[in-house]
Amino acid sequence: MKQRRRKTMTKKDEMTKKLEELGVTEEQIAKIKDELGAENVEDLNSLTEDDLIGIGIKPIPARKIITALTPTTPKADPTKELAENEEPSADQVAGFAGILGADPTALMLLMSGQGGDMDLSSMMPIAGLVAGYNPKRRDLYLTIMGQVERRLGVPIVVINGDGSIDRELTTEYIEGLEEGREPAENNIYFDSEGIPHEVIRVGVDAQSIYDADPLNPSKALQKSGMGIGRVNWSDISLEVKQVAFYAVTKTREIDPNNDAHLSWLRDHIKKGVNRLVFHGQAPRAIAEYNEAARTGSLPTLRVMLSRSPRRQEIMPRRRKSSPRDLSGIGMDHDDL
């Protein structure tokens, strides 16, 4: 009993100290305890302005005390990275609109796909959106850029030769599309000096290019080099990968869905082999390789990775492969 009484006294002392810090007199504190029944600091959160006025505190001081006692809720961070399937909250969108100097209502309409023909350039500074865009971060910059791209119907990110984003040209290009200008032909945008720049999709990291799986060149190999059918392509020469690519996509001498073919690959694709390893299994693919080497049209077998915002997946992951035309990669089989 003594311990419980001592603990209660400590809580009362904490409450008294808290009220004194807020300018409440000793007489008023006694009334809060005796007349209103407050016993500890937690009880102070239940006080109302009328309660304080009722024990003799003037309205304005009472209002200030209640404001000071009201627990503050942390504001949503509008720039935090979003999880794979996470929807940004209304507070985050409103905060993001504040950062951009945009209309929160217009931003919500854009995100919900109800933007229609609204002129974004007059509602949102495109330069600010582009300045914060980073294809490596799944945040509201990426999300809104994706919505803008879907609305315009064409890729909108202009890049430099090294794959970095040219933010000035990207802003210029988007604003031009908003004004009704024609999209860049073949996704090549020319600057004022006539220098060509490639235009890519939102979410594609043009500086993150990885080895493609020869058996499915739209997919990147795992970091370990493992590809379809547990075929390990690490430390395998490019020429061997290119012959495998032709054997799958052009001559059809290898079928990635055939267990026997995959077993053959696992047994024969070893460090140090050259393209002649296919002389029995895929001789026509070797001939295709030789012809492409002669004409300088060999595939690079490289693939970019993209990060689409809030993509629904059964097994969430952070990235997906996104093929593009890299000397044959990403083309339909019939075109090869």
Domain assignment present for 78: no
Its pTM stands at 0.49
47-51, 85-89, 286-290: range with highest mean pLDDT:
286-290
CB contact at 8 A, 156 and 120:
no
Q: Is the pLDDT of residue 196 over 60?
A: yes
Percent of the chain with pLDDT over 70: 81
Contacts 24+ apart (CB under 8 A), 116-120: 119/178, 120/148, 120/151, 120/178
Give mean pLDDT, residues 322-327. 46
Q: Same domain, yes or no, for 269 and 289?
A: yes
- Domain end, chosen from 69, 101, 128, is at 69
**CA–CA distance from 280 to each of 272, 286, 298 (Å)?**
18, 10, 22
Q: Same domain, yes or no, for 190 and 219?
A: no
Structure tokens at 82: 């979003």
Q: Same domain, yes or no, for 197 and 131?
A: yes
Which domain covers residue 16, as residue numbers? 2-69
CB contact at 8 A, 195 and 159:
no
Domain assignment present for 82: no
Q: What are phi and psi of 128, to 5 degrees?
A: -65, -40
What 3-state DSSP class applies to 212? strand
Count: domains in the chain: 3
CB contact at 8 A, 228 and 236:
no
pLDDT score of 69 = 80
Q: Same domain, yes or no, for 186 and 226?
A: no
| pLDDT tens digits, 242-271 | 999 999 999 999 999 999 999 999 999 999
Q: How far apart are CA 185 and CA 171, in angstroms?
A: 18
pLDDT score of 104 = 77
Q: Same domain, yes or no, for 197 and 218?
A: no
| pLDDT tens digits, 136-182 | 888 889 888 988 898 889 999 999 887 889 999 999 999 999 888 99
Q: How far apart are CA 250 and CA 335, in angstroms?
A: 9
Q: Same domain, yes or no, for 232 and 198?
A: no
Place of tokens 């547990």: 230
